[in-house]
């Protein structure tokens, strides 16, 4: 009964996040249009670069929502692990587009520094204030879900960057109004570009690690191996692999050397291993292949001769 209620709660939370992402997407899309028009009207490169930034955020939100939708689809006969990677791939592609965008902003900004243009600071201020409200609202609603999903987290980080961008533009608009120094605008846009690269880099690193079957963040291979060897009945562990399916789903496969015991005893060891991995490392998908020690010692034509077992072990 207890587990049923938990599952129900989780499902509700899941649907809630999907809806938040959908609403945020619509609001961000609308804001990009407002910012583009305002940027062209007021000659503000900072507003235009922020519109670009927000547009990639709209893409980020769309991809997060799409990845989120895919993750909730069950595994099928072809995608046997389900669609966990959908969201990770989405985060990766999106981060790459961000880097391209910031390149364009840098180029434009440097051009503007050499030939400053007059900017309508009133429009800048109003639009940036609107952006701050929007991004702040979306961040609040994404905060709880961003703790355990790289996908939602990438959207959350984007919103945070946006909110900071809006604050900077508001500051810039006020500075232009009181000092009349037009170069504030391109300087701001260059800073926004640098911030975009910085946020994108982290997402590229983490998503690439998952896509390349790298060791999940926060897990130490030697530590896992030592914990496994520490269990009663386990003599040695080799060919140990740990990778991520999605950002919070880890899988493991390995060969475990045990004494030549009856299947009932090895089953006990297996349960102990799986329990420990789930509890200590949050690894729920594990594939363990047992090898028996006496097999390697006996000369009676068993599949593993001593030399091979020895060689394998060093491997």
Q: Are residues 84 and 188 in the same domain?
A: yes
Last-in-domain residue among 163, 191, 211: 211
Tell me which residue has tokens 């999940």: 216
Query: E strand or H helix at 250, and its extent?
Result: strand 250-258
- Asked if residue 202 belongs to a domain, the reply is yes
Q: Are residues 200 and 239 in the same domain?
A: no
Q: Are residues 202 and 262 in the same domain?
A: no
> Residue 230: what are its φ and ψ, rounded to 5°?
-75, -10
Ranges of the chain whose pLDDT falls below 70: 1-15, 67, 71, 73-84, 146, 148, 150-151, 247-248, 294-315
Other beta carbons within 10 angstroms of residue 73's beta carbon come to 11
Predicted pLDDT at 4? 42
Last-in-domain residue among 185, 211, 237: 211
Q: Residue 171, exposed/middle/buried by CB under 10 A (0-12, 13-18, 19+)?
A: middle
**DSSP bridge partners of 251:** 243, 285
| 285 Cβ neighbours under 8 A, 6+ residues apart | 245, 249, 250, 251, 252
Predicted pLDDT at 282? 84
- Asked if residue 244 belongs to a domain, the reply is yes
Which domain does 128 fall in, by range?
Answer: 2-211
Number of domains in the chain: 2
Q: Are residues 262 and 113 in the same domain?
A: no
The pLDDT tens digits of the residues spanning 259-299 come to: 888 888 888 888 999 999 988 888 888 888 888 876 555 55
pTM: 0.58
- Find the CATH number of the domain harbouring 290: 3.30.70.1350
Strands 283-292 and 250-258: parallel
- Asked if residue 196 belongs to a domain, the reply is yes
Q: Are residues 297 and 229 in the same domain?
A: yes
Alpha carbons 266 and 160: distance in angstroms, whole number: 51
Alpha carbons 242 and 216: distance in angstroms, whole number: 7
- Asked if residue 164 belongs to a domain, the reply is yes
Q: Are residues 8 and 140 in the same domain?
A: yes
Q: Are residues 104 and 233 in the same domain?
A: no
The pLDDT tens digits of the residues spanning 91-143 come to: 788 788 888 888 888 888 888 888 777 788 888 888 889 989 988 888 888 77
- Asked if residue 233 belongs to a domain, the reply is yes
Sign of CA dihedral 74, 75, 76, 79: positive
Q: Are residues 91 and 196 in the same domain?
A: yes
- Find the CATH number of the domain harbouring 100: 1.20.1510.10
Buried b (16+ CB within 10 A) or exposed e, 94-116: bbeebeebbeebbebbeebbeee
- Asked if residue 216 belongs to a domain, the reply is no
Predicted pLDDT at 189? 84
Tell me which residue has tokens 């709880």: 144
Q: Is 217 helix (H, G, I), strand (E, B) or coil?
A: coil
In terms of phi and psi (left: phi > 0; alpha: psi -120 to 50; beta: otherwise), the region of 282 is left
Q: Are residues 77 and 144 in the same domain?
A: yes
Q: Are residues 21 and 167 in the same domain?
A: yes
> Residue 242: what are its φ and ψ, rounded to 5°?
-130, 130
What is the side-by-side order of every strand in the sheet holding 283-292?
234-244, 250-258, 283-292
Torsion of CA 149, 152, 155, 160, to 10 degrees: -70
Q: Are residues 233 and 186 in the same domain?
A: no
> Residue 239: what are its φ and ψ, rounded to 5°?
50, 45
| 68 Cβ neighbours under 8 A, 6+ residues apart | 14, 17, 18, 21, 87, 149, 151, 152
Q: Are residues 141 and 228 in the same domain?
A: no
- Asked if residue 308 belongs to a domain, the reply is yes
| 4 Cβ neighbours under 8 A, 6+ residues apart | none
Q: Is 308 helix (H, G, I), strand (E, B) or coil?
A: helix
Last-in-domain residue among 192, 211, 230: 211
Predicted pLDDT at 53? 77
Alpha carbons 89 and 95: distance in angstroms, whole number: 10
């Amino acid at each position: 009964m207890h587990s049923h209620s938990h599952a129900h709660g989780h499902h509700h939370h899941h649907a809630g996040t999907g809806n938040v992402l959908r609403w945020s997407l619509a609001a961000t899309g609308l804001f990009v249009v407002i910012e583009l028009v305002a940027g062209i009207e007021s000659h503000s490169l900072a507003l235009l670069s922020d519109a670009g930034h927000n547009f990639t955020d709209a893409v980020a939100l769309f991809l997060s929502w799409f990845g989120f939708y895919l993750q909730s689809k069950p595994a099928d006969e072809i995608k046997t692990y389900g669609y966990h990677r959908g969201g990770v791939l989405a985060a990766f592609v999106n981060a790459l587009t961000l880097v391209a965008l910031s390149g364009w902003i840098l180029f434009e900004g440097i051009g503007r520094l050499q030939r400053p243009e007059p900017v309508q600071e009133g429009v800048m201020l109003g639009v940036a204030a609107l952006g701050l409200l929007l991004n702040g609202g979306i961040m609040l609603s994404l905060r709880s879900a961003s703790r355990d999903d790289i996908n939602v987290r990438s959207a959350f980080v984007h919103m945070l960057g946006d909110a900071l961008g809006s604050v900077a533009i508001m500051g810039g608009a006020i500075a232009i109004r009181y000092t009349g120094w037009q170069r504030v605008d391109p300087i701001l846009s260059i800073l926004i570009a640098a911030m975009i690269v910085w946020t994108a880099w982290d997402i590229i690193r983490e998503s690439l690690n998952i896509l390349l079957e790298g060791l999940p963040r926060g897990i130490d291979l030697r530590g896992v191996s030592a914990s496994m060897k520490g269990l009663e009945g386990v003599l040695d562990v080799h060919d140990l692999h740990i990778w991520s399916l999605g950002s919070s789903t880890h899988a493991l496969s390995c060969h475990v050397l045990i004494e030549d015991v009856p299947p009932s005893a090895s089953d006990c060891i297996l349960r102990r291993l799986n329990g420990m991995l789930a509890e200590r490392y949050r690894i729920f998908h594990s594939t363990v292949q047992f090898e028996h020690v006496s097999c390697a010692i006996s000369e009676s034509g068993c599949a593993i001769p001593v030399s091979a077992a020895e060689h394998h072990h060093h491997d």
